[in-house]
Amino acid sequence: MPRFPIKMPQLGESIAEATIREILIAPGDEVKADQNIFEVETDKAMMEVTTPCSGILIEITAVVGTSYPVGSQIAFIEASDEEATKAGLIKPGNGSGEKAAGEAESSDNLHFAIAEKDIIDHSKPAAVKPTIEGGLPVPVRSSVYLSPRLRARMDELGLNSADLAGLPGSGAGGRVTVEDFEKFINALEENQMTDASPMRIAVADSMRRSWTRPLASVTVPIIMDAVLAHRKSLTAKPGVTLYAMRALAIAISENTAVAGRLIGTRIVHPNAIDIGFAVEADDGVLVPVIRNVDQKPLSEMQQPYEELVNRARERRIPIAATGGGIATITNVGPFGITAASPIPLPEQNLVLGLMAGRKAPVWDEEKGEFVPRMESKFVLSFDHRILDGGAAGRLLQRIGHLLQEPEKL
């Protein structure tokens, strides 16, 4: 039977590499199509690499602990012509064997596939430079002047301008000189230091890129009594985050421009109302996404939501639930936080923060007196190029109105 290479697949929209954490199959084992053979780690999740078809895994070239770019050869499988054709490894009528295997090395659908001349030797683990959320370095743009010599030195150490935020410069106009930089680096050696995890580096760079935009926040207090009463009446009790997610999706669907992105002189409206929600994981935050939230009633969302929460905490979010969201919900109420300014992801315009609920006196027109109500502040952070305070406030008011009739969500 002919043999075919198994390559590191595209494990996410902007994932450029992954690290082999565990080999699940031994050479010579018979495998089925889509069987897990490697457990790999990207900078945000643990995922699996599967077989393209049924056959025999005849060779494993990947090494545990080593990072491989998308498109890198990591194993070989022996498969019949029928299985290989079914999996698209060879085209009908092209024959089989090594020639077909060579044809199977097409880099279709691999956004970051590497050319043959660029394949590196993976016999030793490569040092991984700090990367952004998707795995690719992004050039730093700063309003502070940094000389080419200083930038070259920073690139050499894998640093960016945000790392120098607290460094006063001694040059003209407060410019940071190379000498200032070297003193700063040498002084760091006197402090205790620990390596930041890949996830922490990814989160940090994602927030840095978000901060290049003019961001603003508005806050509206929302009465939550109706939501809490509705939740109490149900056997399966959805979390407050789900109610807010559903209300946000409906509000966005009524005017999709509020969740658009400004590209040049045009506002790009979203094609679908896909909403992410923040889940705290080890040393960072993951944002799984639920698709078409505006089209799904609350009752249909609870089970997939809970499954994604558990998968996120294990850092095993399915590929279908990563990326592509147009807004994010972050519920910081369980931490007792009553005020915050969440930052939207770089590719999103909106993030809705839910603060801790507190009993507050609210004027009741019918009774003519103040009555105690459970109140939570909802904070909407947004790209000020897209929204102004009035539009953002109206969006929050609409969310609050929808939450007063939770049975309709």
Query: Residue 130: is its pLDDT beyond 90?
Result: no
> What Cα–Cα distance (Å) separates residue 249 from each residue in 146, 209, 298, 340?
43, 25, 11, 22
Interatomic CA distance for residues 75 and 234, integer angstroms: 50
Provide the percentage of residues in the chain whose pLDDT is more than 90: 42
Q: Which of 126-135, 169-178, 238-247 has the lowest mean pLDDT?
A: 126-135
The per-type count for the chain, helices as H runs and strands as E runs, is: 9, 19
Residue 50 corresponds to which amino acid? T
Output the 3-class SS for 250-266: HHHHCCHHHHCEEECCE
CATH number of the 3-118 domain: 2.40.50.100
Task: Give the residue among 256, 258, 225 at the shortest CA–CA distance from 243.
Answer: 225
- Class for domain 213-408, per CATH? alpha beta
Establish whether domains 3-118 and 213-408 are of one fold. Answer: no
Give residue-wise pLDDT tens across range 76-95: 999 888 888 888 887 666 55
Residues near 385 by beta carbon (within 8 Å), at least 6 away in sequence? 213, 214, 262
CA-closest candidate to residue 47, choices 343, 264, 285, 319: 319
Q: In this predicted structure, what is the pLDDT of residue 144? A: 56
* pTM higher than the cut 0.85: no
pLDDT at 231 over 60: yes
Residue ranges per structural domain of the chain = 3-118, 129-212, 213-408
In whole angstroms, give the CA distance from residue 95 to residue 79. 13
DSSP string, 324-373: --SEEEEE-GGGT---------TT-SEEEEEPPPEEEEEEETTTTEEEEE
pLDDT digits (tens, 9 = 90+) for 147-157: 888 888 888 88
Measured between alpha carbons, how far is 34 from 49 in angstroms, rounded to an integer? 8
Rounded mean pLDDT, 48-73: 89
Give the residue-averaged pLDDT of 120-141: 41
Give the residue among 88, 115, 113, 114 at the shortest CA–CA distance from 101: 88
Number of neighbours of residue 4 by Cβ within 10 angstroms: 28
Q: Which residues pair with 375 in a beta bridge?
A: 223, 358
